Amino acid sequence: MIHAITREVSPAIGQCELTHIDPVAIDVELARSQHAEYRQLLTELGCEVIHLPAEPDLPDSVFVEDTAVVLDELAVLTRPGAESRRAEVTSIAEALAPYRSLAELTAPALLDGGDVLCVGKTIWIGLSSRTNRAGVEQFERLVAPHGYTVRSTKVHGVLHLKSAATAVSDDTLLVNRDWINEDFNDYQTIAVDPSEPFAANALRVGECVVFSATYPRTAERLDSAGIHNHSVASSELAKAEGALTCCSLIFNV
């Protein structure tokens, strides 16, 4: 069974971290209703959704992806690059504890889950403003014994690796090459439509792909490549520099 951990949008989302985009007022109620649609879609796609209560003092806490990387063998609790986000990890650890053994990154490691792209047994980690080499090295030490190969790649001009590249099948990545130097030669790649630079973040749920309704041209490119996708609205949390993968931790039980 697929499980998805999510968390309600914080009433403080307006105080979220912003790195590469300008502040625009966020409508908390709209963000919550779009998030509810997202959870509903995950349920329809077969997920058991574990929805955690809002954290009023943690503005970015809806973006649960950044706090942990859940593999089949263990979950790695991260040390998020933004100090304001470190306290988010505690309640995620409690939520994951029934399902996985837990390991954690410690200082000087910095790593956001948004920088971690798992493609089979290869794990790509973006070196970004949130993730440093110590984070990559500690993470690698934890997962290598389980047969994973870790590869790092620089990310520039955008927050996380998964803003620039996500997997839409076992061997196909959706990419925006403006933000990464890596060629990803081992995979087939689909480029985002040039008018939709933020469209590279697709969420895989089992064999299904969830995709933002904001990017219809890139959705057509996916369709043409035989990657059929389920559309969901995500415009409001995009104002907090978040996308689709950020809002859940998805794993099999």
Binding interface with ligand CIR (CB under 6 A):
16-17, 19, 60, 63, 65-66, 82, 85, 114, 159-160, 240-243, 246
Please say which residue, 67 or 172, places its beta carbon nearer to ligand CIR. 67
**From the candidates 160, 208, 230, 247, which is the catalytic residue?**
160
Question: With contact defined as beta carbons under 8 Å apart, do 114 and 102 qualify?
Answer: no
Enter the DSSP assignment of 235.
Answer: H
Sheet holding 188-191, edge to edge: 165-169, 172-175, 188-191
C-alpha to C-alpha distance for 210 and 85, rounded to whole angstroms:
26
Closer residue to ligand CIR (CB): 52 or 225: 52
**Cβ-closest residue to ligand CIR?**
114
Q: Given the residues 16, 47, 208, 246, select the one marked as catalytic.
A: 246
What is the distance between the alpha carbons of residues 168 and 94, in angstroms, rounded to a whole number?
30
246 an active-site residue? yes
Question: Between residues 197 and 225, which has the closer beta carbon with respect to ligand CIR?
Answer: 197
Work out how close the CB of 225 gets to ligand CIR at its nearest, in angstroms, rounded to a whole number. Answer: 24
| Cβ nearer to ligand CIR, comparing 38 with 63 | 63
DSSP calls for 70-108: E-SS-EEE---SSGGGGGGHHHHHHHHTTTS-EEE--TT
Nearest 10 degrees: Cα torsion 29, 35, 41, 44:
-90
What is the CB neighbour count within 10 angstroms for residue 127?
Answer: 18
- Tell me if residue 160 is catalytic: yes
Rounded distance, CA 98 to CA 84, Å? 26
Least distance to ligand CIR from the beta carbon of 60, Å? 4
Supply the residues annotated as catalytic. Answer: 160, 246
